[in-house]
Chain A
Amino acid sequence: MNRIYLDNSATTRTDDRVIDDMILFMREGYGNPSSLHSFGREANRAVQEARQRVAGLIGAQPDEIIFTSGGTESDNLALKGYALANGRKGGHIITSSIEHHAVLEPCRYLEKIGFEVTFLPVDEFGMISTASVEEAIRKDTVLISIMHANNEIGTVQPIDAIAKLANEKGVPFHTDAVQTVGRIPLDVSNGISMLSMSGHKFHGPKGVGALFVRKGIRLETQMHGGGQEKGVRSSTENVPAIVGMGKAAEIAGEEFDAESRRQVRIRDMIIDGVLESVPRSFLNGHRSERLPNNAHFRFDFIEGEGIVLHLDMRGIAVSTGSACSTSSLEPSHVLLATGLMPHQAHGSLRISLGRFNTEEEARIFLDNISEVVSILREMSPYNENNPIAPGGDQC
């Protein structure tokens, strides 16, 4: 069976051009970049070249890029590293209620050790208002962290306006751009202080990410050791993965405009197709301010989990609310924050596109989704005449 992968917000297929470059640095260029001999120098050169490519994708200087093990580590380093280096006596942090767990959990940790955190609400489309950020800023606010685009519902936040506001108020601004780097234009020169990214979200390898840290920003190291990455993040550089992320960044930069337009076309085909062909289907997130590769729906009377399993049996891979929370029965914090009831959150489905998806695959998905929804609705005790009763106990 030819399988169709529509879960590119969870992870992407590594591009063959990336794999080719990576293999070279396992087979031949396997030196340690800290070594003085030619093996080491070659590896070091490759890491610096990758640093330039990653920096180039977001308009940064190469020495403002710290390589990490992925998006989660980048977020942890940004939040804890900044808070601990600049707010030792505590302080106030502003973030949103729909951040990825890689931001929310470091914030909760910082609360435990004496920081105060404001979790800003969002509107029904998952949008954070710049005005609410402004209202939340206090004298002791040390950091603002707002994601660029949400990983579940795909809403793109007004980070240019928030970065401008943060600059005016003299508060550093971090953004988790894991879902947007390589997908929509990004330029850190608009006043972003720190930006997290992840290699495997744009057809690079897993296990590598980066944090952009503007010159002059001080971070408390979260990984003590041999002093690599300017002492902020010790550990022998993961050269093949870093090379792979660099190549992925280069490809994304080159193919960006055409690819983004192509994905928007397929995305809109899916959104319009589902809303037209499936009764009682709704779009989650924002209609226009959304990731080029994200479509997120909810369907009345049935569960997303059932849809995912049925589609999987037909060879189509999609996701319920968010892949990060499928092992838990708790409804998605993002969907609840947009005002959905728990049962509505459970009826949600995310389709996320990547470089290798085609219009033909979107058509096959559309053919199958109506059927699957019908099958599940036939079994569901709920329907127009017997709508679900909100409420219920904790799981």
Chain B
Amino acid sequence: MYCDKVMNHFANPGNVGEIPDADAIEIVENPICGNVMYIYQGQE
């Protein structure tokens, strides 16, 4: 279940955080199985 790739992302999370003035926010959530993702998009 926990392959090296998954564990690597888990131990060294990248691109994590919030973009306060994001142009778009997409929310994917399913608390029943614990999947929650907020995806922020911003253009420079």
Tell me the A225-259 residues at the B interface (CB within 8 Å): none
Give per-residue flags for B7-44: 1 if the beta carbon is below 8 A from chain A beta carbons, else 0: 10011010010000000000101111110111000000
User: Interface on chain A toward B: helix, strand, loop, or mixed SS?
Assistant: loop
Contact B11–A346 (Cβ < 8 Å): no
Choose from B7, B10, B31, B37 the contact partner of A392 (Cβ within 8 Å).
Answer: B31
Q: Quick check: which of A174-182, A211-219, A383-391 contacts chain B, the rest being far away?
A: A383-391
Across the two chains, which residue of chain B brings its CB closest to A344?
A: B31
Contact B11–A313 (Cβ < 8 Å): yes
Contact A305–B34 (Cβ < 8 Å): yes
Contact B2–A309 (Cβ < 8 Å): yes
Across the two chains, which residue of chain B brings its CB closest to A347?
A: B34
Contact A346–B31 (Cβ < 8 Å): yes
Docked complex Cα distance between A382 and B13 (Å):
17
Interface size on A, residues (CB 8 A): 25
CB distance from B17 to the nearest CB of A (A): 8
Residues of B within 8 A of A346 (CB): 31, 33-34
Residues of A within 8 A of B1 (CB): 327
- A303 interface residue per 8 A CB criterion: yes
Tell me the A297-343 residues at the B interface (CB within 8 Å): 303, 305-306, 309, 313, 327, 329-331, 341-343
4 nearest A-B residue pairs (beta carbon):
A343-B31, A395-B33, A329-B33, A392-B30
Beyond A330-B33, A341-B31, A343-B32: 8 further Cβ-contacts under 8 Å? Answer: A303-B34, A306-B10, A309-B7, A327-B1, A342-B32, A343-B31, A381-B38, A391-B31
